[in-house]
């Protein structure tokens, strides 16, 4: 069991993106209850997948409007990707019985749960929504976000937010979303806030998770005044632009925000680097030559004369899109209409090495959101619905990074996880034990690739892998944790701040695999293997796989089992 325990409730859970990201951040995050309900459909695909991967314990497949708060267990962290809707209350409160009685707008279900939990409401909240949230609606820019912030402030939360494009931080999809993290005023994290502007730009959870540079002359500072009804009716009325920047914070209804430019120079994933080998692609995903003109028309620029419902003539125009999609860049945003064979402007189409055109497989769409391969594979869920589920999903890597930083701020120590975000979770059918009997064998596919430039002038640390850990370092997982020997056996002459790469030395073979050192810290083996009772301090390296040499190279290690050298010398 981990030393700390963060009880999580996941609303609007989809197929578990928040859960995967948080579990990838730390073993301390435990989802104790979750709710997933897709309105207007009898076939609850997301719920089926969620239960298959995580089990039925604590799972609710019921309209959240109908779930009493007392059925939701007390928890430390409330998370959810709530749908984007019109949050105005001014016109409807009189006939809805107040905020608590307003049905159908799911933000108010979050508010209702937090409000009714009273003194037992969670210390922390973490939500995701579309990027346009901070600018909506068009007639009253920023009103919806102001309502949400004011509501949370009235419940006692300090709130920070960022609009993040996952591709800006090396992830494989251009998906811009608004991420909101809040802390109760009496929480450990809230008490660490000193200056609101420093928290936003340098010191806070979001700033530490995703480094950025503030754009010049974009600071916006103001108060959100009035009751929720007054905010709904009057906030920013008659003004052209939203006052909210894409990075900001609210404390006691006072807002400070800026516009942010991402800062990142690490490895980057692309659409092409995540594709399955052409030989493994089923024939139905290839586009017939006779249908190519239809696809090219849908993707091309066009002007069409149309008539409105009121009888007015107008010209509908749209620009052209890349056809096929660029393989050397992150993918475009996946939408819910990605599945199916019909030609579409928004579906991805790639050109294979043989020159044929094809649509993306569900496994490739999962990779764009950084889910485990075949996470949505289920005998009762079609490929089209799997694509729909990924169009509704979030990028797990974003949640993982924010989850790591939140943990660090709560406990003042590095988070440790034995459940990386790409971990394949075996099917767990609880009701019909024969459900997965006829399931096709999962595809064995190539691993995702990344774009980066090797700097052969950088230092690489070569460390021996003991026999009992060789299998761990020989499997294909893209991230690893390496524990050195006890600190007294680590060479004192190694300059930790100069180490950039790591290569594991397999006894009898040598070195082959090259990793980037993402984090170097002090830790111990008991943090991830508590049964060992080994709490002796060790150096710990959190690693990201880059590439492999064509074959193993034998090198002489010193008596401490470590060698500090330059990457260029190893590759030479």
Catalytic residue positions? 84
User: What are the distances in angstroms from CA 209 to CA 5, 349, 400, 408?
Assistant: 21, 33, 9, 11
Q: 97: which residues sit within 8 A by CB, 6+ positions away?
A: none
Q: How many CB atoms lie within 10 A of CB 239?
A: 11
Tell me phi and psi for residue 111, to 5 degrees: -60, -45
Asked if the bond preceding 488 is cis, omega within 30° of 0, the reply is: no
Locate the DSSP E strands across 339-427.
349-351, 357-359
Classified as helix, coil or strand, 194 is coil
Q: How many CB atoms lie within 10 A of CB 370?
A: 27
User: What are the distances in angstroms from CA 81 to CA 128, 277, 520, 564?
Assistant: 4, 33, 32, 45
Q: 362: which residues sit within 8 A by CB, 6+ positions away?
A: 374, 376, 377, 383, 386, 387, 390
Q: Which helix (H) or strand (E) is 124 found in, with range? A: strand 124-130
Q: Which residue has the tokens 């309900």?
A: 37
Locate the DSSP E strands across 133-275.
157-165, 176-184, 212-214, 220-223, 247-251, 254-258, 260-262, 268-269
Question: Quick one: tokens of 43?
Answer: 């076939």
- Contact assessment for residue 368 and residue 173, using Cβ atoms and an 8 Å cutoff: yes
User: What are the distances in angstroms from CA 288 to CA 37, 365, 526?
Assistant: 37, 21, 56
Classified as helix, coil or strand, 509 is coil
- Contact assessment for residue 376 and residue 389, using Cβ atoms and an 8 Å cutoff: yes
């Amino acid at each position: 069991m981990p030393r700390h325990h963060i009880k999580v409730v996941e609303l609007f859970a989809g197929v578990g993106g928040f859960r995967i990201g948080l579990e990838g951040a730390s073993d301390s995050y435990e989802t104790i209850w979750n709710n997933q309900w897709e309105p207007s459909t009898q076939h609850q695909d997301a719920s089926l997948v969620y239960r298959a991967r995580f089990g039925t314990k604590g799972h609710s497949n019921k309209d959240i409007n109908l779930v009493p708060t007392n059925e939701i267990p007390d928890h430390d962290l409330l998370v959810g990707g709530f749908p984007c809707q019109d949050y105005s209350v001014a016109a409807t409160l009189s006939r809805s019985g107040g905020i608590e009685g307003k049905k159908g707008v799911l933000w108010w279900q979050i508010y209702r749960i937090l409000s009714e939990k009273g003194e037992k409401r969670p210390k922390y909240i973490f939500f995701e929504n579309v990027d346009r949230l901070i600018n909506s609606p068009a007639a009253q820019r920023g009103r919806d976000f102001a309502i949400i912030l004011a509501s949370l402030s009235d419940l006692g939360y300090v709130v920070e937010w960022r609009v993040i494009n996952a591709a800006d931080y090396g992830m494989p999809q251009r998906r811009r979303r608004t991420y909101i993290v809040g802390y109760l005023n009496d929480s450990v994290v809230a008490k660490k806030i000193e200056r609101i502007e420093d928290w936003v730009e340098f010191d806070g959870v979001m700033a530490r998770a995703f480094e950025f540079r503030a754009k010049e002359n974009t600071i916006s500072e103001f108060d959100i005044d009035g009751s929720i009804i007054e905010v709904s009716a009057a906030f920013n009325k008659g003004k052209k632009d939203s006052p909210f920047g894409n990075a900001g914070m609210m404390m006691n209804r006072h807002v400070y925000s800026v516009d942010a430019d991402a800062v990142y120079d690490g490895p980057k994933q692309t659409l092409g680097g995540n594709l399955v080998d052409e030989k493994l692609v089923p024939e139905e995903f290839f586009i017939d030559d006779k249908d190519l003109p239809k696809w090219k028309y849908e993707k091309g620029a066009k002007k069409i004369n149309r008539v409105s419902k009121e009888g007015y003539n107008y010209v509908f125009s749209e620009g052209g899109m890349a056809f096929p999609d660029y393989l050397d860049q992150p993918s475009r945003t996946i939408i819910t209409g990605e599945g199916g064979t019909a030609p579409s402007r928004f579906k991805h189409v790639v050109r294979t090495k043989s020159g044929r055109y094809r649509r993306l497989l569900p496994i490739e769409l999962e990779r764009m959101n950084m889910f485990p391969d075949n996470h949505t594979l289920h005998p009762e869920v079609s490929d089209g619905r799997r694509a729909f589920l990924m169009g509704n999903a979030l990028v797990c890597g974003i949640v993982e990074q924010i989850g790591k930083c939140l943990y660090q701020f709560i406990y003042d120590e590095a988070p440790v996880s034995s459940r990386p975000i790409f971990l394949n979770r075996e099917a767990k059918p609880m009701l019909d034990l024969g459900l997965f009997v006829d399931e096709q064998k999962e595809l064995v596919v190539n691993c995702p690739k990344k774009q980066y430039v090797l700097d052969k002038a950088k230092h690489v640390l070569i460390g021996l892998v003991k026999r009992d850990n060789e299998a761990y370092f020989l499997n294909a997982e893209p991230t690893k944790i390496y524990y050195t020997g006890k600190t007294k056996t680590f060479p004192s002459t190694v300059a930790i701040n100069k180490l950039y790469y790591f290569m594991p030395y397999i006894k009898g073979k040598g070195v082959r695999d090259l990793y980037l050192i993402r984090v170097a810290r002090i830790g111990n083996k008991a943090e991830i293997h508590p049964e060992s009772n080994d709490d002796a301090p060790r150096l710990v390296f959190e690693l990201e796989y880059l590439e492999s040499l064509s074959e193993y190279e034998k090198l002489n290690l010193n008596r401490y089992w470590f060698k500090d050298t330059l990457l260029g010398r190893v590759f030479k």
